[in-house]
Structure 1
Amino acid sequence: MKLFVPIRSFTSKAKLLNLISASLIFISAVFGLSQLAQASESAASQAPIDDGSIAAQYEIGAMYAAGEKVPQDYAKAAEWFHKAADQGDATAQWNLGIFYNSGLGVAQDSFKAFRWFEQAANQGDLMSQYYLGTMHEYGRGTKQDYDKAHKWYKKAAVQSKATIQNNFDYYYDNETAVDQANIEALELLQKSVDQNNPTSQNNLGVRYLKGNGVAQDYKKAFELIQKSAVQNNRYAKRNMGMLYMGGDGVDQDREQAMKWFHKACGSDDPMSCDLYEALFLMDYEVIASLVMSQES
């Protein structure tokens, strides 16, 4: 029984857009932290005055979004972000994409969200490029188009964000992809692994285990999955249990398998709890058979 699981930061691909929608209100308050937080810090020290500049309009919008110096008001935040976005500010355009995608301060409108993400993405905004990829992939606010999804995922991934690089790999590992696309995905996945990203370490390990796009190598698979597991990745912990249970890339060791299943169970992985219990009960079956054999 093989249960090796590639994973992503955003849980399952099918749930990605729901997760995005559910988390938008939090993203809008702290997204990136390097963008809204910076504007909020400025607002906290001195409330900006609208002088018609992009910077002032954006900072006023950020002030209302974060509730700094003024009561939090997403509608007013959207109004000010609109002013800055209309002048071509990519960060304000990204914010409006978030607001329209979630209905935050404005009527929910996936098509308008797509339009604002697209404008920001064309200016090189990383997260807008990534969101644009998801919208093309799922046909949200636009016609479903896997080629365009690939284009925008790649643009975001090459900006060296480990999580997005890993998601780019996951996309091609689970879609019908040409060889060249798979090569690109592997290159980006390796780049993410080099940044010590535990999710990517596990996923590349699974690829080596399966021989998926790389030469099958159980030793490399074990090394990568182990690196991920010691960084507390629950799926890698489960995979470590499976490796020890099956003797793949390491000597078969039931105690080590139980140890890793127990660790993964403690990290809220129900399947690992079941696997741990199954191995534990196996001892009692052996004991019972020995007792019965002595009594006969």
Structure 2
Amino acid sequence: MMMKLYSILRLGLVLLALGTGLIACQQPVVKPAPQETAQSAMQAAKDAYQRQDFNKAAEWFRKAADLGDAKAQYNLGVAYNEGKGVPQDFGQAAFWFSKAAEQGIPQAQNNLGFLYKQGQGVAQDSSKASEWFRKAAQQGFAQAQHNLGLAYRDGEGVKQDRGLAVLWLQKAAVQGDEQALADLNQLKTSAKGAKKSSSTAKPAQAPKKKAQAPKKAATSSTSTPKP
């Protein structure tokens, strides 16, 4: 009788153990929260920007930028450069433009060159400005081609070279940069005038118009997130 009772109790314990095991197996598996990616952060930034919530857009750009996204780094630089969603800070603008420029974003390279040209957020350095203009210009970015043409025209950061000035201004003009076309025509006109003046011994002409400062990237490419 005792053995039978023990067997029944033992059987009950086994069933209880099995039952507990079944309950444990039926517990839902808790999945870890999905990790935030640069792509998802960029999408959130674009959505916020389109809603004109620039503070939130800057927050998301920063998250994506910290994850190494070059476009986000560029756009965060724009935010600091323009004071949109964050306090204006040319030092921070230069920092983030530099990050994006090193990853090959031509708009960032051009804007970094502009900051070096102006001495905003970085020590003024015409040579570095021209270097960054060249990197962007070689990628076909019209504003940088224009800026590099002006650098060669005026001998700022590079040796003055009218031929190279014409070359880069033409490249920008062909892409529809109207100011580059105007500067190109002015350069050609002044060159013709100089030749005519030397051959006819006419009085010296009035001083040329003050050289135009290099431009930033166009508003359309600096104030809106890149796709």
TM-score range (shorter-chain normalised) is: 0.5 to 0.7
**Equivalent position amino acid for 1:194 in 2:** E
CA positional deviation for 1:291: 4.3
The 5 A counterparts of 1:24-63 are none
CA positional deviation for 1:280: 0.9
Mapped contact 1:153–1:168 kept (Cα < 8 A): yes
Q: Note the alpha carbon deviations across 1:90-141, whole angstroms, 9 max, x for none.
A: 9xxxxxxxxxxxxxxxxxxxxxxxxxxxxxx9997133222144145x3xxx
The 5 A counterparts of 1:35-114 are none
Counterpart in the other structure of 1:206: 114
1:215 aligned counterpart, secondary structure: coil
For 1:129, which of 37, 41, 44 is the aligned residue? 44
Mapped contact 1:126–1:159 kept (Cα < 8 A): no
The 5 A counterparts of 1:97-176 are 125-135=40-50, 138=52, 144=53, 146-175=54-83
Q: TM-score, normalised by structure 1?
A: 0.50
CA positional deviation for 1:169: 0.9
2:83 aligned counterpart, secondary structure: coil
Q: Distance in 1 between matches of 2:37 and 2:109?
A: 31
Mapped contact 1:221–1:249 kept (Cα < 8 A): yes
Counterpart in the other structure of 1:235: 143
**Equivalent position amino acid for 1:207 in 2:** L
Mapped contact 1:193–1:200 kept (Cα < 8 A): yes
Counterpart in the other structure of 1:260: 168
Mapped contact 1:133–1:153 kept (Cα < 8 A): no
Identify unmatched segments of 5+ residues in structure 2: 1-33, 203-227
Aligned residues: 167
Q: Which has the higher contact order (CA 8 A, sep 6+)?
A: 2
Matched, 1:194 2:102: yes
Counterpart in the other structure of 1:288: 196
| CA RMSD, Structure 1 to Structure 2 (Å) | 2.7
Q: Note the alpha carbon deviations across 1:248-272, whole angstroms, 9 max, x for none.
A: 1112222221111011112221211
Residues 279, 183 of structure 1: alpha-carbon distance in 2 compared, 3 angstrom cutoff: closer
Counterpart in the other structure of 2:132: 224
Residues 285, 175 of structure 1: alpha-carbon distance in 2 compared, 3 angstrom cutoff: same
For 1:251, which of 138, 141, 159 is the aligned residue? 159
Mapped contact 2:116–2:129 kept (Cα < 8 A): yes
Identify unmatched segments of 5+ residues in structure 1: 1-89, 91-120, 139-143
Q: Distance in 1 between matches of 2:131 and 2:39?
A: 36
Mapped contact 2:42–2:72 kept (Cα < 8 A): no
Mapped contact 1:183–1:213 kept (Cα < 8 A): yes
CA positional deviation for 1:184: 4.1
Counterpart in the other structure of 1:30: none
Mapped contact 1:234–1:264 kept (Cα < 8 A): yes
Query: Identity across aligned pairs (percent)?
Result: 30
Q: TM-score, normalised by structure 2?
A: 0.64
Q: Distance in 2 between matches of 1:178 and 1:253?
A: 40
Mark the structure with the bigger radius of gyration. 2
Q: Distance in 2 between matches of 1:232 and 1:281?
A: 26
Mapped contact 1:205–1:222 kept (Cα < 8 A): yes
**Equivalent position amino acid for 2:182 in 1:** D
Mapped contact 1:129–1:155 kept (Cα < 8 A): no
